[in-house]
Each structure stands twice: as C-alpha cells, then as structure tokens.
Amino acid sequence: MKRMICLPLVLLLLLPLAGCRGRDPDQSAQGIQLYFLSTLAHGPAIVGEDYTGGDDPTPEQLLSALLAGPQGEDLRSPFPAGCYLRSVSLEDGLLTADFSEAYGGLTDVSLTLADYCVTLTLCQLEGVDSVSITVAGRSMPYRSHQILTPGEASPDGS
C-alpha cells in the first residue's frame, strides 16, 4: 500500500527532469597536471590528469610520469610504443626534451598532440617558458616550428 502511495509521488517528481539532454566535459584541474589524449567523442583532445608524484617534480619526473601513461579510463598516451626519454636540458627558460627514435614516427596531428601534451605538462614548471622536442638529438623538420609554447594549443578549438 505504501508503494502505491509513493509511486504517483515519484512519477510526479520525474516531471521536472523532462527535456534534459547533453552534458559538457568537466575540466576542473588543480595542481600539476599530466596531459594526455582524450578518448571521448567530443570536447578537448588534450585533457589533464593530476600528477600524484609529490610537490615540485623535476622535468625528468614529469616526463617519466607522462611516458608511463594515464590512470584515467577516458585517457590514452600520445606516445608510440617503445618511446623513452633520452635526455632533458633547461636553458634560459627553454626546456629541450630528447626522445628516442620511436617519437619520430609521429606525423601530422598525432605529432602535434604529442608535442603539446609534453609542452603543456612541462611549462607548468617554474622556469620553463617553452619546450623544444628532439628525436635522437635531431629536430623534426616537418614540424612547422621547433619552439613550442602552451599558448599555441587551443584544446577545445576556440
């Protein structure tokens, strides 16, 4: 009997919920973020994930965490299999990250996405204003420019 009383009340409460559809991806982020590729169909192609390795990480630590891949289910790594960090150097605000040959296999938008996952991640560090990415010590010639800054990436297309 009580269920019979509750049922019409529940149905009436459902009325205001009519017409709801669609949602936005949530991108609230705090602390240092590791940037990976989103697997969702819409929204930003690059999404950040909290770095849990402690405060004040070094560039090597951040890049290691980045190369290790994401924890979240809706994220995936931008790096090709077998890619590893060869060296990192910082001079006058420009951080140069040298990756293995596997990184050189990236082209077009895949290269762009990987470049800016690295750039957005590393430029959060104090003293890092821009990033240069090399492959086995060499620049990638088909990249439009070699010095990458976070302001160049518009993750949501606007």
Summarize as ranges the residues that interact with another protein (CB under 8 A). Answer: 1, 4-5, 7-8, 11-12, 14-16, 18-19, 21-24, 27, 29, 33, 38, 40-46, 48, 108-109, 111-113, 116, 120, 129, 143-145, 149-158
Give the shortest CB-133-to-another protein separation in angstroms. 14
- Give the nearer residue to another protein in terms of CB position, either 84 or 92: 92
Which residue type, as a one-letter code, is found at position 65?
Answer: A
Amino acid residing at 60: E
CB of 130 to another protein, least distance (A): 9
Calpha distance 16→14 (Å, rounded): 6
User: What is the per-residue burial (b if ≥16 Cβ within 10 Å, else e) of 57-94?
Assistant: bebeebbebbeeebeeeebebbbbeebebeeeebeeeb
CB nearer to another protein: pick between 26 and 55: 26
Shortest distance in whole angstroms from residue 42 CB to another protein: 5
**Least Å from the CB of residue 131 to another protein:** 13
**Is the C-alpha dihedral spanning 90, 93, 97, 98 positive or negative?**
negative
Q: Which is nearer to another protein, 3 or 56 (CB)?
A: 3
Query: 3-state class of 89 per DSSP?
Result: strand
